[in-house]
C-alpha cells in the first residue's frame, strides 16, 4: 500500500473513532445543559430600587427631606399575612415609604412585627441598605431566575405575594448575602408597574448627570442607582441665583450636613 493511502486510511479510522465517542458522550451533556435555566442579563442592568432598613422611619425621612428629597410617598403600616421565611410560614408588619430619584427608587423599611429578612438584618447590622431589587416582566421569568440561582447554591431566603390592581405580584429575596455576595438580591414581579420607573421631576436637578455611589460590600460596591438628588422644596420653583450655580456640597453644608470623608483620585 502506498504511503499516502495509509495516511488517508488512518485519518478515516481516527474520524470514525471520534464520531463513535461523541455519539455516546455528547448527548448526555447536551441534554443537561439545554434543560438548565440561564441568567437573563437584561434584568440586572437596572436596579429597580434599593431597600433601606431602619429603626425609625420618620427620623430618617426627615433627614432626607432636609437634603432635598421631597416627593416621598408614605405607605403607612403594610401587612402581609402570608410569607415564607427560611422555609417557614410567617406574617409581618412594616412601615414603608418610597421616593423616586431619576430612574431609581429608594424603599425605606421599618420592621414592626413578625419574622422577616429585614428584621433579622436590623437586629444584626442596624440601619443600612439591605437589598437591591431587580424587576422581572412575568411570573415565568421570576421562576426561571429563582431556578437559575438555586442551581448554583443560592436558594430563596424569603418569598411573598400580594394582590394588585392588575394581578398578583410576587417577590423573592435570594440568599446572596450569606453566600458571599455581600448584599441581598430581590427579584420582584409587580403587574402594576412598568419595567423602568418614570422620573420624578422634583427630585432631579442640574446634578442629575452626576451619579451618587453608595458603597456596599462584595461585588456590588459602587453600584450606581441614585441619580442627582434635587434641591427644590415641594411646590417651589427653582430660585435663580446670581453667579455660578451652588454646588451639591455647599448646599449640604448650608443644611447642616458636613463631609464624613474627603479624598482625591487621579484622573
- 54 three-state secondary structure: coil
Which pLDDT value is given to residue 102?
77
Domains parsed from the chain with CATH numbers: 48-189 (3.10.180.10)
Q: Are 67 and 252 in contact (CB under 8 A)?
A: yes
Which pLDDT value is given to residue 18?
44
Share of the chain above pLDDT 70, in %: 59
- Within a 13 Å sphere around the CA of 204, how many CA atoms are in the beta-carbon half? 12
Tens-place pLDDT, residues 75-134? 999 888 779 999 999 989 999 999 988 777 999 999 999 999 999 999 999 999 999 999
Which has more pLDDT, 230 or 124? Answer: 124
pTM of the model: 0.65
Which has more pLDDT, 226 or 260? Answer: 260
**Residue 162: beta bridge partners?**
169
Amino acid at each position: 500500500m502506498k504511503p499516502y493511502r495509509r495516511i488517508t486510511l488512518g485519518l478515516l479510522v481516527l474520524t470514525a473513532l471520534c464520531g463513535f465517542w461523541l455519539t455516546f458522550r455528547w448527548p448526555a451533556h447536551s441534554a443537561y445543559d439545554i434543560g438548565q435555566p440561564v441568567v437573563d442579563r437584561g434584568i440586572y442592568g437596572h436596579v429597580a430600587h434599593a431597600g433601606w432598613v431602619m429603626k425609625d422611619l420618620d427620623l430618617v425621612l426627615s433627614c432626607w427631606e432636609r437634603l432635598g428629597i421631597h416627593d416621598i410617598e408614605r405607605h403607612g403600616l403594610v401587612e402581609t399575612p402570608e410569607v415564607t421565611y427560611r422555609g417557614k410560614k410567617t406574617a409581618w408588619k412594616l412601615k414603608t415609604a418610597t421616593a423616586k430619584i431619576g430612574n431609581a427608587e429608594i424603599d425605606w423599611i421599618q420592621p414592626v412585627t413578625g419574622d422577616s429578612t429585614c428584621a433579622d438584618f436590623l437586629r444584626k447590622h442596624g440601619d443600612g441598605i439591605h437589598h437591591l431589587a431587580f424587576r422581572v416582566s412575568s411570573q415565568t421569568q421570576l421562576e426561571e431566575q429563582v431556578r437559575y440561582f438555586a442551581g448554583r447554591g443560592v436558594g430563596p431566603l424569603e418569598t411573598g405575594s400580594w394582590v394588585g390592581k392588575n394581578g398578583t405580584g410576587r417577590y423573592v429575596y435570594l440568599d446572596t448575602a450569606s453566600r458571599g455576595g455581600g448584599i441581598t438580591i430581590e427579584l420582584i414581579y409587580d403587574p402594576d408597574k412598568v419595567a423602568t420607573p418614570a422620573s420624578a421631576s422634583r427630585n432631579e436637578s442640574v446634578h442629575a448627570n452626576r451619579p451618587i455611589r453608595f458603597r456596599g460590600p462584595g461585588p456590588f460596591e459602587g453600584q450606581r442607582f441614585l441619580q442627582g438628588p434635587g434641591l427644590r422644596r415641594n411646590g417651589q420653583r427653582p430660585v435663580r441665583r446670581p453667579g455660578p450655580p451652588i454646588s451639591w456640597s455647599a448646599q449640604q453644608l448650608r443644611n447642616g450636613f458636613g463631609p464624613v470623608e474627603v479624598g482625591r483620585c487621579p484622573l
